[in-house]
Amino acid sequence: MERYRVGVVGCAGRMGRMLLSVLAATEGCEIVGGTETPDSPAVGADLGAQAGLGELGIAVGADPVALFAKAEAVIDFTTPAASVSHAGLAAQAEAVHVIGTTGLDADENAAIARAARHTAIVQAPNMSLGINLLLAVVEQVAGILDPDYDVEIVEMHHRHKVDAPSGTALALGRAAAAGRGVDLDQVAQRGRDGVTGPRRRGDIGFATLRGGDVAGEHTVIFAAQGERVEFAHKASSREVYARGAVKAALWARAKPPGLYSMRDVLGLD
């Protein structure tokens, strides 16, 4: 089989550099380019050198159109607005698009879904294989335990993360809500301060912590009278997200147009 031509948008960021490192170590993959915003000091630098891989002879670009034109797949951990734009480019080029960006609103997700009519897009708030197994477990457990078990989701990330709760925490909340057959928007409690009164039965609570260089920690708590059940996932390196994203890109190579999730990639559905 011919080598799989893969590119990375946002290639000079923390996740971008990790993605390049994982791609370079993945058999069958060929890094064909990477882009950054036009004002980034990385533009024009050697793609491999800025990622600590040694010279690759490929300059960091500023034009995602050119990248999508030559790549079979592009991996995207950028910003909501950028990911929507990239999804449109992927649709035009019929390139696989793997999106790990979080913080998208309903309109942005709808735009990505429209683009997926024309190409394979894998979108997930967390590309970790372990987290996606946890999502399946949380949904199942929430369906078994009745609302007397209060659900609380606690997450912690590094000080640079800009959205809260994390996309993964919200996905865990949606999994718990799906297990109970309720709408998360109707039962979510995303902030407590001051005299809040007693906890409402059936609420799904969120607590957000930020600090240091924490790659990502999530705990889902089912608490009832007399007992507490906890499920936790702790990432010690962003490499787990990069490995999952590369796995998703490889999985989607032969897939027809459509919007896929990591559950699809892992065969959990």
pLDDT tens digits, residue range 52-98? 999 999 999 999 999 999 999 999 999 999 999 999 999 999 999 99
Residues 94 and 167 both lie in one domain: no
Position 102 scores a pLDDT of 87
Buried b (16+ CB within 10 A) or exposed e, 53-71: beebebebbbebeebbeeb
Residues 186 and 106 both lie in one domain: no
pLDDT tens digits, residue range 210-226? 999 998 999 999 999 99
Residues 89 and 189 both lie in one domain: no
* Stated pTM of the model: 0.83
Catalytic site positions? 157, 161
Angle at which helices 129-144 and 239-252 cross, to 10°: 90
Residues 86 and 138 both lie in one domain: no
> What CATH number is attached to the domain comprising 119?
3.40.50.720
Residues 224 and 244 both lie in one domain: no
Position 207 scores a pLDDT of 97
> What CATH number is attached to the domain comprising 212?
3.30.360.10
Residues 152 and 69 both lie in one domain: no
Residues 181 and 95 both lie in one domain: no
pLDDT tens digits, residue range 93-120? 999 999 999 889 999 999 999 999 999 9
pLDDT tens digits, residue range 122-160? 999 889 999 999 999 999 999 999 999 999 999 999 999
Position 21 scores a pLDDT of 96
Residues 143 and 226 both lie in one domain: yes
Q: In DSSP terms, which residues pair with 4 in a beta bridge?
A: 29
Domain count, the chain: 2
Distance CA 47, CA 36 (A): 11
Which residue carries 């890094």 as its tokens?
31
Residues 108 and 133 both lie in one domain: no
Domain span at residue 21 reads 4-123+238-266
Q: Are 51 and 21 in contact (CB under 8 A)?
A: yes
pLDDT tens digits, residue range 3-55? 999 999 999 999 999 999 999 999 999 999 999 999 999 999 999 998 899 99
Residues 17 and 89 both lie in one domain: yes
Residues 103 and 198 both lie in one domain: no
Residues 260 and 221 both lie in one domain: no
Order across the sheet with 204-210: list the strands: 188-189, 204-210, 150-157, 216-224, 227-235
